[in-house]
């Protein structure tokens, strides 16, 4: 048996990663349908499921694959390179699954007893629902945003507050949080039509969703710890589940944005090899020194960010594998690596978009698609520039606040 305290020497040689690379052509064939229908086509969904992508982070004891974070991120990145919306939904869904592993054992068994590749949609962000306690659980009503993958999901993850007789929120007895997390059966949730009217990542189907006076059993609830979350799944054996949350949350979205940026670079390379710029009697776009410079710079910028992300996750993994605890400084750098990587991807994408000429803004062009998807990913709070001063406070010996522990 392989030493499970060691990361794979060659991530791209992992079978899951090779499967993701092989599916990129298929993703391109489905792209228009994904965008139009704002969901994964059923045939594509089954291919993704069959490949094992929906059980990457699930423990082997539950029938999952229990992969390391670098393998998981590379799969997400390659799928995002093929279709940004697919990468986003796989990345988001994996973190949602990790969150559900923090439920009581009875709740975990209910969700995963039939199949390890059960799809989770919803959000880990606090708020959205209100509940009243009843025997055996709660009755919950609420509305949540960003239900990415809700069309394929079996379960929906949302946060709520329990309201006492005095009309005030009650703290959770385990940890004192004002918020609970709950996992609702997808059949109990209603999708709000038209609530995902966006320019990029349309295919994620990140619609608002609601529940109305739904009974939520205690076994499918847990305290909401952290902003937006901390590792509440460390009871599962294996180094994968001992890693701090910074190795998953942030990196999962930065893998999407780097995949889309790579697709953008590839799109300019393909365009430059066949496009003759207007007003130039001879020569192709690739003959332009400015285009050559843009492609070289974009590749270097993008991969500098990717290397930083990989290096920090590897450092935290190796720290735990050696029997030590990670430091706040390490966790801060891992978190900042995600934001820096996203900024690197944005810079690379803007370079190649600018040099695509008028092709770049035509809706049907690959460059336009990548630009829309990338800048949509870049707006997520997990990659926001506010993480720089949070990290800076750590290095200055100051309290970084509740979002970084």
- In tens, the pLDDT along 108-158 reads 999 999 999 999 999 988 899 999 999 999 999 999 999 999 999 999 999
pLDDT reported for residue 376? 97
- Give the residue among 405, 71, 387 at the shortest CA–CA distance from 229: 405
Which DSSP letter does residue 386 get?
T
pLDDT(320) > 90: yes
Instruction: Work out the average pLDDT over 8-22.
Output: 97
Tens of pLDDT, residues 59-80: 999 999 999 999 999 999 999 9
pLDDT of residue 177: 79
Q: pLDDT-derived band of residue 1, with 50, 70 and 90 as boundaries?
A: very low
Q: CA 267, CA 249: separation in Å to the nearest integer?
A: 28
What secondary structure does DSSP assign to 150-184, as a single string? Answer: TTT-SEEEEEEEEE-TTSSEEPPTTT--S-EEEEE
What values do phi and psi take at 223, rounded to 5? -70, 145
Percent of the chain surpassing pLDDT 70: 98
Mean pLDDT of 234-246: 97
pLDDT of 277: 76
Q: What average pLDDT does this structure show over 262-274?
A: 95
Q: What is the mean pLDDT of the chain?
A: 95
**pLDDT tens for residues 153-180?**
999 999 999 998 888 898 888 767 789 9
Report all structural domains of the chain as residue ranges with CATH numbers, in order of start: 11-116 (1.10.540.10), 120-223 (2.40.110.10), 243-395 (1.20.140.10)
Give pLDDT, residue 33. 97
pLDDT confidence of residue 225:
86
């Amino acid at each position: 048996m392989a030493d499970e305290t060691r990361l794979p020497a060659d991530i791209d040689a992992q079978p899951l990663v090779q499967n993701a690379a092989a599916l990129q052509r298929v993703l391109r064939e489905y792209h228009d349908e994904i965008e139009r229908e704002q969901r994964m086509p059923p045939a594509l969904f089954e291919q993704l499921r069959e490949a094992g992508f929906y059980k990457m982070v699930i423990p082997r004891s539950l029938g999952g694959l229990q992969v390391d974070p670098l393998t998981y991120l590379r799969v997400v990145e390659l799928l995002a390179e093929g279709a940004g919306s697919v990468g986003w939904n796989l990345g988001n869904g994996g973190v949602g699954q990790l969150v559900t592993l923090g439920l009581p054992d009875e709740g975990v068994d209910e969700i995963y007893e039939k199949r390890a590749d059960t799809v989770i949609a919803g959000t880990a962000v606090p708020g959205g629902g209100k509940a009243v306690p009843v025997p055996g659980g709660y009755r919950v009503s609420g509305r949540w945003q960003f239900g990415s993958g809700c069309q394929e999901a079996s379960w929906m993850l949302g946060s709520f507050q329990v309201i006492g007789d005095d009309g005030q929120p009650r703290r959770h007895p385990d940890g004192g949080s004002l918020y609970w997390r709950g996992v609702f059966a997808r059949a109990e949730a209603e999708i709000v039509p038209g609530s995902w009217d966006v320019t990029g990542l349309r295919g994620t189907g990140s619609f608002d969703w609601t529940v109305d006076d739904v009974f939520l059993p205690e076994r499918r609830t847990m305290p909401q710890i952290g902003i937006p979350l901390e590792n509440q799944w460390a009871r599962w054996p294996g180094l994968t589940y001992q890693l701090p949350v910074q190795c998953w949350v942030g990196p999962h979205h930065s893998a999407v944005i780097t995949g889309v940026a790579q697709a953008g670079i590839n799109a300019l390379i393909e365009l430059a090899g066949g496009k003759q710029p207007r007003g130039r009697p001879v020569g192709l776009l690739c003959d332009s020194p400015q285009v050559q410079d843009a492609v070289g710079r974009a590749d270097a910028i993008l991969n500098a960010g990717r290397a930083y992300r990989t290096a920090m996750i590897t450092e935290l993994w190796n720290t735990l594998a050696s029997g030590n605890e990670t430091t706040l400084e390490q966790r801060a750098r891992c978190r900042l690596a995600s934001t820096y990587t996203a900024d690197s991807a944005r810079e690379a994408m803007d370079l190649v978009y600018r040099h695509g000429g008028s092709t770049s803004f035509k809706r049907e062009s690959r460059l336009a698609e990548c630009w829309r998807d990338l800048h949509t990913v870049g707006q997520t709070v997990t990659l926001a520039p506010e993480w720089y001063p949070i990290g800076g406070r750590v290095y200055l010996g100051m309290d970084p606040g509740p979002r970084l522990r």
